Amino acid sequence: QKEVEQNSGPLSVPEGAIASLNCTYSDRVSQSFFWYRQYSGKSPELIMSIYSNGDKEDGRFTAQLNKASQYVSLLIRDSQPSDSATYLCAVNDNNAGNMLTFGGGTRLMVKP
């Protein structure tokens, strides 16, 4: 059974710091990786996707993928209180249609 593991947190960082969120996955055939942000009581919102080893940057967000170590991370630079949310890691095996396997999420708290 495919598993996606995240530290549930909460991860607390001061405003302006870098927040580092980590995710490991068990299925070596996983090919697509996604980070979703979910505010309390709301639905998940896609913020980053990554497919190749290395880094992918989008504004204050950087996704990092290491397929050999089965590890994907999300860095948030200059963290803001509005970044406080639960961050969900999701992986997809391209042979499984568009089914995503999600981790349990990491709760991030950015303190002013």
Partner 1 sequence: DAGVTQSPTHLIKTRGQQVTLRCSPISGHKSVSWYQQVLGQGPQFIFQYYEKEERGRGNFPDRFSARQFPNYSSELNVNALLLGDSALYLCASSLWSGLSNYGYTFGSGTRLTVV
Residue 81 CB contacts under 8 Å (≥ 6 apart), including other chains: 15, 110, 111, 112
Name the residue nearer to partner 1 (CB basis): 18 or 42. 42
Which residues in 80-99 contact partner 1 (CB under 8 A)? 88, 90, 92, 94, 96-99
Q: Does 104 bind partner 1 (CB under 8 A)?
A: yes
CB of 38 to partner 1, least distance (A): 9
Residue 8 CB contacts under 8 Å (≥ 6 apart), including other chains: 104, 105, 106, 107
Interface with partner 1 (CB under 8 A), residue from 7, 32, 61, 70: 32
Name the residue nearer to partner 1 (CB basis): 103 or 110. 103
CB of 35 to partner 1, least distance (A): 9
Tokens, residue 29: 């055939």
Are the beta carbons of 23 and 73 closer than 8 angstroms? yes
| Burial degree of 71 (CB within 10 A; 0-12, 13-18, 19+) | middle
- Where do contacts with partner 1 occur on this chain (CB under 8 A)? 4, 32, 34, 42-46, 49, 51, 88, 90, 92, 94, 96-105
